[in-house]
Chains A and B, each alone.
Chain A
Amino acid sequence: MHVVIFGYGYMGKIRHQVLRRHADVQRVTIVDPKLSADTTPLDGALLPEGARVPWESIDAAFICTPNNVTAQLCADALRRCRHVFCEKPPGRNWDDFTRIAQAAEEVPEHTLVFGFNHRLHPAIEAAKAMIGKGGVGDVLYLKGTYGKSGGARYRQSWRNDPHVAGGGILLDQGIHMLDLFHLFLGPLQLVETVLADGFWNCGVEDNAFVLLRSHQGVPAFLHSSATLWKHTFRIEIGCSDGYLVATGLLSQTGSYGREQLVIGKRQFEDEAMALGNPREEIIHFDRDESWDREVTEFLAAVKERRPARHGTLEDARRVMAIIRDVYATASIASPERR
């Protein structure tokens, strides 16, 4: 396969690494106007400035660009080569997403996958397997916290420029947690939102509190934050026969802590342990194959001419609809600090 990567930032580099070791990929072309082949040759993979993209030989495209060009590039790539892997978010807003969805509709036998790799993290997969007859029963509620500290160059990043990014921390990072809520609960509707831009003052939210409800009435609550000075990923799944708490993420920096899943079983006072202090088991994970697996699944779907199993247009539609509703109903408060 000959694959083209648009955008060679943080995600573009990760995708390049994965594609280089994939058996079906013979050639990778990188397109990034910010890079020069003189200073960043990338073993000849970087397309020289001004050169046209060789679409006739391209089998699949990866869109790893800032949000403001995602929709246009994604739609173009769909029309040119039919098979596109697009990083999250799928555009800056609902309009951008709709442009992508329309392009997909026009292109028969396309493959379109969005980068919601958190579904493939081992703690999340283990949690999913435990729900229902897996041992902890039906989900009663979900509570997710996902946040980072921003960092010294936070204000300069395109991710926090409302014109380029289209939203704040909810669109950038909270979107992963919303995708996980859908994974566990199916379609959700928005109940209440509070957005704040209390620290970074970039004009986009640095904290989002989002209350949701599933079609079955199961509540879910998300706190997405760019002011969590200690990087945090935590999803708590309360169930009828126990609970699951996934914390930490196997990331490149390891800053979210060791990935683990706590499994607790409900116990009442007539059982062996003290009420309210059930026996817990903790599974620690030390291998994250999510990047490889989502790319492998995308390329397999392309090769086998079948729909992808995750990161689908429908998955993207669900999260973007929630984000659309959040931004439509809540204004961003900038509380005064004393």
Chain B
Amino acid sequence: MRSIQTGMSLPLASVKPLDGLMRYRAYCLEQTRFALRDGIRQRERSPVTGGPLVPFGEIEGLSYVRCPESGSLFLASVADPQTWRELLSSVSMYRHSPEAFHFGIADLRQETVYTPKLGWIEETLRLQGVRRPRLLEVVTLPSDMGSLLRASGLFTDVVTVEEMLLASGRAPMPDEEPVQTAVLLESLDRVDDPAALVQAVVDRLSPGGLLFVTGLVASGFDLATLGIRNRYLYPPDRTNCFSLRGLTALLAASRLSLLEVSTPGMLDVQIVQAHLEQDPRLGVSPFERQLLESEEDTHRAFQTFLQQQRLSSFTRIVARKEGGASA
């Protein structure tokens, strides 16, 4: 298994500025409350272990629960699959509208978020000796990566399937041909039933096929430090916030073997700093405060340490469906 550390550094503002986030987040919270108005499904069992979930905290009236064994966090209630699908769709449309901060920094995000993800996929395919596979892109439309994936020339075909339809077993596939690669870029953070989504993808992968997963993990520095106070933790984008251990266990439970588990995140320290700037009275430990008030070199070194030790809150995982030849 491998993990990747990147020497790249980015300003938070070029990816997800905290100031800009607040309006988008408010929209997401409002839409989630709206989706839950006509009945809810209480989530009582951990998708990772099947064990009971315990209360974790509340974000503006929306409760989160925690899986004690894995440390993963979950929104306590979800709506029926169709309503959840509509919720994800509405939020995705908003994210692509001029009202959301994403729109104003679309070019920057293309350069700092999506192009590196494509580079990661390309490099992994090369290292694994996979040439021109068929790709399953699992997403809620509109897709941020779809056009990049198609234009890359890396794949013979890119099949895009809506994540909620796939998770609920209602996704129409253009044919029954299996795919050799699939991407779940933060999809597992959003859907109501992440275990079902992983299984549905695995069912469509050919033996030895590769699955690319990205997401935010609760075991990472900024999420672990700020907990429920972290403004980047909100539904439906973080309906699920697995710990790294929880996420890898979820994948392994679907008979996937892990080729890469990395946390190449670059923003943990900046995120906690941004929270402290917004609220100087925010409770952090004296050690954390000392760290955050230190020189930029210290921040950089600490962020590198987080990457090296798989302690950043952004994760990338490559997994292989069992049964194929290993590279």
Contact = CB atoms under 8 A, between A and B. Distances in A.
Contact of A281 (B7, B127, B129): B7
A214 B123 CA distance: 28
Interface in B1-54: 1-8
A284 B3 CA distance: 5
B126 interface: yes
A125 B3 CA distance: 15
Contact of A279 (B7, B123, B126): B7
Contacts of A286: 1-3
B6 A287 contact: no
Contacts of B3: 283-284, 286
B308 interface: yes
Contact of B1 (A125, A126, A135, A285): A285
B260 to A, nearest CB: 8
Interface residues of B, number: 14
Interface string A264-282: 0000000000000001111
Contacts of A126: 2, 127
A282 B6 CA distance: 6
Contacts of A330: none
A122 B260 CA distance: 12
B123 A284 contact: no
A282 B5 contact: yes
A42 interface: no
A287 to B, nearest CB: 5
A125 B327 CA distance: 10
Contacts, number: 42
Given A129-B126, A129-B127, A134-B126, A281 B4 contact: yes
A208 B6 CA distance: 35
Interface size class of A (residues with CB under 8 A): 10 to 19
Contacts of B5: 281-284
Given A126-B127, A134-B126, A280 B7 contact: yes
Contacts of B2: 122, 126, 283-286
A122 to B, nearest CB: 7
A287 B1 contact: yes
B303 to A, nearest CB: 13
A135 to B, nearest CB: 7
A283 B2 CA distance: 6
Contacts of A130: 123, 126
Q: Which of A126, A280, A281, A287 has the most CB of B within 10 A?
A: A281
B4 A284 contact: yes
Interface in B107-141: 123, 126-127, 129
Nearest to A287: B1
Contacts of B8: 279, 281
B7 A282 contact: yes
B123 A135 contact: yes
Nearest to B259: A287
Contacts of B7: 279-282
A134 B124 CA distance: 11
Interface string B314-327: 00000000000001
Interface of A: 122, 125-126, 129-130, 134-135, 279-287
21 contacts: A125-B127, A125-B327, A129-B126, A129-B127, A129-B129, A130-B126, A135-B123, A279-B8, A280-B7, A281-B4, A281-B7, A281-B8, A282-B4, A282-B5, A283-B4, A283-B5, A284-B2, A285-B1, A286-B1, A286-B2, A287-B1
Closest 3 CB pairs of A and B: A280-B7, A282-B5, A284-B3
